[in-house]
Amino acid sequence: MKQQGMILWLTGLSGAGKTTIAHGVAQKLQRRNYRLEVLDGDVVRTHLSQGLGFSKEDRDTNVRRIGFVAELLSRNGIIAIVAAISPYREVRDQLKQTTTNFVEVYVNAPLAVCEFRDVKGLYTKAQVGQVKHFTGISDPYEEPLNPEIICQTDKFTPQQCVNQVLHYLEQKRLIDFYKNLMQISS
Ligand code: ADP
């Protein structure tokens, strides 16, 4: 099977569900032998972007670095799945314009839901000022204006969101996931 490279870029607030959906999509594609890599913002900050902080400049640098690596992978036929808050619209839009097969996924849950989940305990810390420049609390998040996909994670299950992403990619002929599945079962 000749697979197409692409950049599946998941953006959204902390706790919105980017990592969960990224790994859910990755797992399903890997089972069908797609070659891919997940670039997780939290992980990237421990090596590729080690030392960068959370000013606008540093966040944009972080996103550009992730975009650069994702593009290298994509151009070699790999599916690069990025899970990063990537709060600033301009730098996301730049990546969309300068790369091929860039699919922006807005992983959207209301701030109150993300705060309630508080997966990493960071919202509690941000509210009392122990964590500064926290997106959604003390730092901006600029919603995508024209995302290819919106995953409404407060209304749908992770599995439903994963399937929504796969259906979109199939519909755009970026993957042959369901077609192959039908061939196998028929
Ligand atoms: P992020 O990577 O955006 O910071 P995580 O994926 O680490 O977010 O955490 C999201 C949390 O929300 C997880 O505990 C996950 O189980 C939960 N969740 C509930 N519904 C969904 C959904 N539809 N999609 C993704 N995550 C969801």
pLDDT in tens, 92-117: 999 999 999 999 999 999 999 999 99
User: Is 14 a residue of the active site?
Assistant: no
Ligand 1 centroid distance, CA of 14 (Å): 9
Domains in the chain: how many in total? 1
Residue 40 lies in a domain: yes
Average pLDDT for 157-165: 98
Q: Is 82 in the pocket of ligand 1 (CB under 6 A)?
A: no
Residue closest by Cα to atom 17 of ligand 1: 17
Complete DSSP assignment for the chain: --PPPEEEEEE--TTSSHHHHHHHHHHHHHHTT--EEEEEHHHHTTTTTTT--SSHHHHHHHHHHHHHHHHHHHHTT-EEEEE-----HHHHHHHHHHSSSEEEEEEE--HHHHHHH-TTSHHHHHHTTSS-S-BTTTB-----SS-SEEEETTTS-HHHHHHHHHHHHHHTTS--HHHHHHHHH-
Residue 142 lies in a domain: yes
**Does residue 137 contact residue 32 with C-beta atoms inside 8 Å?**
no
Residue 1 lies in a domain: no
How confident is the prediction for the chain on average, in pLDDT? 95
Can you say how many angstroms the Cα of residue 2 is from the centroid of all Cα atoms in its chain? Answer: 24
Residue 161 carries which side chain, given as an amino acid letter? C
So what's the pLDDT on residue 185?
A: 52
Q: How confident is the model at residue 186 (pLDDT cuts 50, 70, 90)?
A: very low
Q: Are strands 79-83 and 36-40 parallel, antiparallel or unpaired?
A: parallel
Residue 36 lies in a domain: yes
Residue among 86, 138, 185, 186 flagged as catalytic = 86
Ligand 1 centroid distance, CA of 20 (Å): 5
Q: Are strands 6-11 and 149-152 parallel, antiparallel or unpaired?
A: unpaired
This prediction's pTM: 0.94
Q: How confident is the model at residue 181 (pLDDT cuts 50, 70, 90)?
A: low
Residue 99 lies in a domain: yes
Strands ordered across the beta sheet of 102-108 = 36-40, 79-83, 6-11, 102-108, 149-152
Q: How confident is the model at residue 137 (pLDDT cuts 50, 70, 90)?
A: very high
**Which domain CATH number covers 179?**
3.40.50.300
Residue 165 lies in a domain: yes
Q: Is 135 in the pocket of ligand 1 (CB under 6 A)?
A: no
Average pLDDT for 21-49: 97
Ligand 1 centroid distance, CA of 184 (Å): 31
The span from the CA of 47 to the CA of 44, in Å, is 6
Residue 133 lies in a domain: yes
Residue 113 lies in a domain: yes
Q: How confident is the model at residue 177 (pLDDT cuts 50, 70, 90)?
A: confident
- Percentage of residues in the chain with pLDDT exceeding 70? 96
- Percentage of residues in the chain with pLDDT exceeding 90? 94
Residue 76 carries which side chain, given as an amino acid letter? N
Average pLDDT for 165-183: 86
Domain span at 146? 6-185
Whether the pLDDT of residue 21 is over 70: the answer is: yes
